[in-house]
Structure 1
Amino acid sequence: MIKRGRATRVLGQSGVAMMVAAVTACSGAGPGTAADGSSREEYLVFYAPGQRDAAATAVTGAGASVEADDPRLGYLVVHAAPAIRLDTVPAVVAVAANRRIGATTRARWESRKEQAVIPNAREAAAVAPEPLASRQWDMKMIGATPTGSYARERGSHKVLVGVIDTGIDGKHPDIAPNFNRALSRNFVIDRPTDSNGKKFDGPCEYKGCKDPADVDDEGHGTHVASTIGSPLNGIGIGGVAPGVSLVNLRAGHDSGFFFLKPTMDALAYAGDTGIDVVNMSFYVDPWTFNCPANPADSPAEQAEQRGILEGMRRAVAYARTRGVTLISAIGNGATDLGHPTADQASPDYPLGAERTRKVDNTCLNVPAELNGVISVSSVGPSGRKSSFSDYGIEQTDVAAPGGDLLDNGTSIKGIRRAILAAAPEHALRAKKMIDKQGRPKDGSVVRDCRRGTCSYYQYLEGTSMAAPHVTGVVALLVARFGKPGRGGLALNPATAERLLYASAKPRPCPTPRAFRYSAGEVQTCEGGAKKNGFFGHGVVNALRAVSLPIDR
């Protein structure tokens, strides 16, 4: 997938200007001090192809130390004093501060355990609607119902769906049957406070501040995973692809922040492990827009953003070339990403550092605007583009239901205009959304008790909720069209993308194109019925996807 009209220059020129000292101001926390008492920080130094040794020699020659090397993505993990400079080193492409709050060592990966295959619906008996199905307008919109896609294809445990998010509650009754514990990983270490001592993740619950791979203290990742693949088990809701395997690839903190190294680690692991499709409902902090040379930013900030762009481009390319189809939420700023003018939310770390800065079309939202990523806008229950959803003729690939509480063009009322999916009970208790007896305090939380066990669900809206509908549809395409590979099923990402677009329901721009959401908010849709800035190639549809001819 090529996103035309954006800055596409890879930061790979020799002699690119950068200095480790410039990034120091953006660094979260460092690993300690040198023998001479000077402070030392940790950085990711991206080297040009074939230039690993030259880059390492330059780093050590400048008095820094190489602590680790990731040859898959071509970078060194370096401990350096703030004064070190790498501006004139041809082997070095980019440098980014490695925020230690997100750093972790990769554990020895377990070999994949063969999963039992859940028969698809062409071989399985019909099922009754799940208990809370009447609240799932989103599944009805895309044809994921007992008489729709469930009657043709529900997916297989051989299809591995990675969720790069805040975690997955693997013990949730409406997720546990599909949770792949053996392959799940956590790539972050919780940090109680930020670099200025402000509360960040809060107290550590586990030894070493590292949560197990079946824990989600925030709830966002569990909601996403549930939309993708909650099973048809007579509990709560059903997901788009209720028969697939859900793999937790945690790169987000309890606080909801996603930093560069854990995100790259998760993508590289997905590529190495045979994950078929990955959901990314986030942007890489601390920048909403990453600008390689924005005059509004300091040299330190420019260097950090160049490093993020370089690292994420490498990680995305690595995963995609190894068979991973990549899905991303487009963002919730109600912004035309083809014509951005201001960024009011960056940098968002340390906490409280945000300011308003001018941006332009050379600045990218990552990962949504990277080549090789399918970007998803959100629609509300009436089918209109959600008021909060970002958009853009160059950026929007497909649309999917993500909710919109302000969507008045529907008979659905209030909170039910959002998306209902699973929520961790402990996270709801921590947020005081349920009482001591476990009863929801308001209508945003739903409790479903069956066979002596209660499970919880939450209404949320956002492009974060739209993207997993697309991920679920791609998982169904893998189950239907994939071939045996690496112990499961595999489908070339280019083929998955083509089939996804072919099965989406085209939706033209509204008339007039300048759509008025409120008196002071007008958003303009560009493009035609087959591809436009609000809906891309159309609204995804699970039934149409699983009805495509098998020889297509």
Structure 2
Amino acid sequence: MKKKNKKKILNCLLVSCIFSLIMITANIGAYAKEINYKNIDLVILFNDNNIDENVKDIIVNSGGKVIDEYPELGGIEVECTSALIPKIKAEDSVQSLSPNHVIKISDEKSEDFVEVKDAFNTSIADLYENYQWNIKRVTNNGKSYSLESGNHNVVIGIIDSGIDQTHPDLVNNFLGGKNLVPAGFQGDLSEFGDLNDVTDRLGHGTNVAGIIAANGRTKGIAPNIGIKSYRIFNKGGETTASICSSAIIAATKDGVKVINLSLGVYELKGKCYWVDPNTGIENYIGDDMAEYSLYKRAIKYAIENGVTVVSAAGNEGQDCSNKKELTSYLNYLYGDYGFKYVGLTYEVPGTIKGVITVSSTNRNDTLSSYSNYGEDFIDISAPGGDLSDTATIDDLCLTTAINSQYSFSAGTSIAAPEVSAIAALIISKNGCLTPKEVAKKIYKTADKISGINSSQYYGAGICNAYKALQ
């Protein structure tokens, strides 16, 4: 890997979360778990997906507390002293445990949309005609709309930062959703735990929704499909693996047919140690990180219930098949917080079996300068724009933004929802297909990209809604 690219990755990598748009800055301390000097927040997973009540009693009787339970996943989230870790691990019912890291969004690169001409032109699809090259690329200049544009019997669950529910391009396709951010999360007093509060504080979820289902001045790939929002980030851009996994469960129970995850995390599968700042004692936490397993169980639950899961690949220009190098980044970012990792690190959910992982391409149908890649990691690619040194506003992708506005963005976060929309259109047209059958159709009808080792960058090729629907 070139030295310039390594430096870029070092500055931009968020080990616990890559919120999949190009990053501007990276403050290492902002992305790590803020260690409580008395207690540690843990995720505990049990064997055979059965929560052990005895373990809960051990924690509570020792002065700790059970924060949440995930019966579908056989896991719990708890807060307790680090001294209790060996006792928890000694229970035969415990498969694994892990610190429940706080995931924080980095600053994102996007440009406000400012109209130069016809500022008061609000005709249908005028912005689509003038600016949305990526949507035209995927739909063959809108030809796919005549084959299938979606319906509200098929719903895409957008697990993200929420949505602008009143945006004129989205309002007709918005079918509700759920807020998974708990009351007072991370000291955010604006969070009341209101299950219906899916208002987008950050803009990213609204960007994603527009790529999927906009139907107004802008158009999405599936302009008549139903969308539901599952908000997992507070106004500070913070969440956890347990919140994200619970959102996957909630969306599946609500009957969505497709889940879009325009986010990603790096999770260890190996040995994790944590030094208690009070005692200086190094605690061996486990051989299998529970956060990784939590995502894996949640996605398996979704797929087994007929839900197609699509994920963005991430934007560090990183070869995600190099799992040892990813582990070194874990140690770099979390070493100052007492953590030490030994083993292999995986991009999640992209490496989880059954997930459709999407890389990003530019206007020239080549890999975007920021896109992650990797053999046996990338399944498909889609146009997500570019932000190279020579890129202009024309290389970005126009989509919906909060406050009923529009913005230009670029990232695998833009590419992934294009594939999610195609998956939903395939189901709309062909009926109830399995996730495996949906994925196979997307791969088979992709525009093939020639070249040596092209599959590590593009997977099966660039997705094509028109071909997938023929």
TM-score scaled by length of structure 2: 0.78
Counterpart selection for 1:457 from 402, 406, 416:
406
- Contact 1:290–1:366, Cα closer than 8 Å, also in 2: no
Question: Residues 121-140 of structure 1, C-alpha deviation per residue, up to 9 Å, x if partnerless?
Answer: xxxxxx97444322111012
Q: What is the CA-CA distance between 1:254 and the residue it aligns to? A: 2.9
Is residue 326 from structure 1 mapped to residue 309 from structure 2 by the alignment? yes
Is residue 311 from structure 1 mapped to residue 294 from structure 2 by the alignment? yes
**CA distance in 2: counterparts of 1:50 and 1:357, whole angstroms:** 28
Q: What is the CA-CA distance between 1:471 and the residue it aligns to? A: 0.5
What is the DSSP-based 3-state SS (H/G/I as helix, E as strand, rest coil) of the residue aligned with 1:43? strand
What is the DSSP-based 3-state SS (H/G/I as helix, E as strand, rest coil) of the residue aligned with 2:227? strand
Is residue 421 from structure 1 mapped to residue 399 from structure 2 by the alignment? yes
Judging changes above 3 Å, is the alpha-carbon distance between structure 1 residues 406 and 305 closer, same or farther for their aligned structure 2 residues?
farther
What is the DSSP-based 3-state SS (H/G/I as helix, E as strand, rest coil) of the residue aligned with 2:270? coil
Q: What is the CA-CA distance between 1:252 and the residue it aligns to? A: 2.5
- Where do residues 431-470 of structure 1 align in structure 2 (5 Å cutoff)? 455-470=404-419
Q: What is the CA-CA distance between 1:498 and the residue it aligns to? A: 1.2
- Where do residues 472-551 of structure 1 align in structure 2 (5 Å cutoff)? 472-483=421-432, 491-509=433-451, 513=452, 526=453, 532-547=455-470
Q: What is the CA-CA distance between 1:55 and the residue it aligns to? A: 4.1
Counterpart selection for 2:249 from 268, 277, 282:
268
Is residue 139 from structure 1 mapped to residue 135 from structure 2 by the alignment? yes
What amino acid is the match of 1:502? K
- Contact 1:402–1:461, Cα closer than 8 Å, also in 2: yes
**CA distance in 1: counterparts of 2:147 and 2:408, whole angstroms:** 28
**CA distance in 2: counterparts of 1:301 and 1:143, whole angstroms:** 52
What amino acid is the match of 2:304? T
**CA distance in 1: counterparts of 2:464 and 2:210, whole angstroms:** 18
What is aligned with 1:124?
A: none
Judging changes above 3 Å, is the alpha-carbon distance between structure 1 residues 216 and 504 closer, same or farther for their aligned structure 2 residues?
same
Question: Residues 312-338 of structure 1, C-alpha deviation per residue, up to 9 Å, x if partnerless?
Answer: 111111111111100000111111111
Judging changes above 3 Å, is the alpha-carbon distance between structure 1 residues 467 and 207 closer, same or farther for their aligned structure 2 residues?
closer
Question: Residues 505-540 of structure 1, C-alpha deviation per residue, up to 9 Å, x if partnerless?
Answer: 11123xxx5xxxxxxxxxxxx35xxxx101001110
What is the DSSP-based 3-state SS (H/G/I as helix, E as strand, rest coil) of the residue aligned with 1:73? coil
What is the DSSP-based 3-state SS (H/G/I as helix, E as strand, rest coil) of the residue aligned with 2:348? coil
Q: What is the CA-CA distance between 1:311 and the residue it aligns to? A: 0.7
Deviates more, 1:137-146 or 1:148-157: 137-146
What is aligned with 2:10?
A: none
Q: What is the CA-CA distance between 1:367 and the residue it aligns to? A: 1.1
CA RMSD, aligned part only? 3.5
What amino acid is the match of 1:78? V
Deviates more, 1:91-100 or 1:258-267: 91-100
- Contact 1:155–1:476, Cα closer than 8 Å, also in 2: yes
What is the DSSP-based 3-state SS (H/G/I as helix, E as strand, rest coil) of the residue aligned with 1:282? coil
**CA distance in 2: counterparts of 1:356 and 1:52, whole angstroms:** 27
**CA distance in 2: counterparts of 1:101 and 1:332, whole angstroms:** 16
Q: What is the aligned residue count?
A: 412
- Where do residues 12-23 of structure 1 align in structure 2 (5 Å cutoff)? none
Deviates more, 1:155-164 or 1:208-217: 208-217
Is residue 223 from structure 1 mapped to residue 207 from structure 2 by the alignment? yes
Q: What is the CA-CA distance between 1:402 and the residue it aligns to? A: 0.7
**CA distance in 2: counterparts of 1:414 and 1:381, whole angstroms:** 11
Larger relative CO (CA 8 A, sep 6+): 1 or 2?
2
Q: What is the CA-CA distance between 1:397 and the residue it aligns to? A: 0.1
What is the DSSP-based 3-state SS (H/G/I as helix, E as strand, rest coil) of the residue aligned with 1:49? helix
Aligned residues with identical type, % of pairs: 27
**CA distance in 1: counterparts of 2:466 and 2:144, whole angstroms:** 4
**CA distance in 2: counterparts of 1:172 and 1:213, whole angstroms:** 16
- Contact 2:384–2:411, Cα closer than 8 Å, also in 1: yes
- Contact 2:356–2:379, Cα closer than 8 Å, also in 1: yes
**CA distance in 1: counterparts of 2:75 and 2:371, whole angstroms:** 34
Judging changes above 3 Å, is the alpha-carbon distance between structure 1 residues 270 and 63 closer, same or farther for their aligned structure 2 residues?
same
Judging changes above 3 Å, is the alpha-carbon distance between structure 1 residues 90 and 214 closer, same or farther for their aligned structure 2 residues?
closer
**CA distance in 2: counterparts of 1:41 and 1:372, whole angstroms:** 32
**CA distance in 1: counterparts of 2:202 and 2:160, whole angstroms:** 10
- Contact 2:55–2:91, Cα closer than 8 Å, also in 1: yes
- Contact 1:188–1:250, Cα closer than 8 Å, also in 2: yes
Question: Residues 148-204 of structure 1, C-alpha deviation per residue, up to 9 Å, x if partnerless?
Answer: 1011110001111000111111111111111012xx00101476967xxxxxxxx75
- Contact 1:386–1:407, Cα closer than 8 Å, also in 2: no
What amino acid is the match of 2:147? R
Counterpart selection for 1:378 from 342, 350, 360:
360
**CA distance in 2: counterparts of 1:300 and 1:342, whole angstroms:** 22
Q: What is the CA-CA distance between 1:381 and the residue it aligns to? A: 0.6
Question: Residues 90-128 of structure 1, C-alpha deviation per residue, up to 9 Å, x if partnerless?
Answer: 2101123346899xxxxxxxxxxxxxxxxxxxxxxxx97
Is residue 180 from structure 1 mapped to residue 175 from structure 2 by the alignment? yes
Q: What is the CA-CA distance between 1:67 and the residue it aligns to? A: 5.6
What amino acid is the match of 2:421? G
Judging changes above 3 Å, is the alpha-carbon distance between structure 1 residues 414 and 305 closer, same or farther for their aligned structure 2 residues?
farther
Judging changes above 3 Å, is the alpha-carbon distance between structure 1 residues 344 and 381 closer, same or farther for their aligned structure 2 residues?
farther
What is aligned with 1:397?
A: 379
| Rg larger for | 1
**CA distance in 1: counterparts of 2:186 and 2:69, whole angstroms:** 28
- Contact 2:64–2:80, Cα closer than 8 Å, also in 1: yes
**CA distance in 2: counterparts of 1:358 and 1:66, whole angstroms:** 26
- Contact 2:124–2:217, Cα closer than 8 Å, also in 1: no
**CA distance in 2: counterparts of 1:479 and 1:263, whole angstroms:** 27
**CA distance in 2: counterparts of 1:301 and 1:334, whole angstroms:** 32
Is residue 52 from structure 1 mapped to residue 86 from structure 2 by the alignment? no
**CA distance in 2: counterparts of 1:49 and 1:293, whole angstroms:** 22
What is the DSSP-based 3-state SS (H/G/I as helix, E as strand, rest coil) of the residue aligned with 1:266? helix
Is residue 243 from structure 1 mapped to residue 224 from structure 2 by the alignment? yes
**CA distance in 2: counterparts of 1:470 and 1:414, whole angstroms:** 25
**CA distance in 1: counterparts of 2:197 and 2:331, whole angstroms:** 29
Judging changes above 3 Å, is the alpha-carbon distance between structure 1 residues 173 and 345 closer, same or farther for their aligned structure 2 residues?
farther
What is aligned with 1:92?
A: 94
What is the DSSP-based 3-state SS (H/G/I as helix, E as strand, rest coil) of the residue aligned with 1:365? strand
What is the DSSP-based 3-state SS (H/G/I as helix, E as strand, rest coil) of the residue aligned with 1:390? coil
What is the DSSP-based 3-state SS (H/G/I as helix, E as strand, rest coil) of the residue aligned with 1:422? strand
- Contact 1:338–1:393, Cα closer than 8 Å, also in 2: yes
**CA distance in 2: counterparts of 1:50 and 1:295, whole angstroms:** 25
Structure 1 portions without partners, runs of 5+: 1-25, 31-37, 103-126, 195-202, 426-454, 484-490, 514-525, 548-552
Judging changes above 3 Å, is the alpha-carbon distance between structure 1 residues 47 and 58 closer, same or farther for their aligned structure 2 residues?
farther
Judging changes above 3 Å, is the alpha-carbon distance between structure 1 residues 77 and 189 closer, same or farther for their aligned structure 2 residues?
closer
Q: What is the CA-CA distance between 1:500 and the residue it aligns to? A: 1.1
Question: Residues 245-283 of structure 1, C-alpha deviation per residue, up to 9 Å, x if partnerless?
Answer: 110011123333441111011011122111100110112
What is the DSSP-based 3-state SS (H/G/I as helix, E as strand, rest coil) of the residue aligned with 2:347? coil
**CA distance in 2: counterparts of 1:499 and 1:80, whole angstroms:** 48
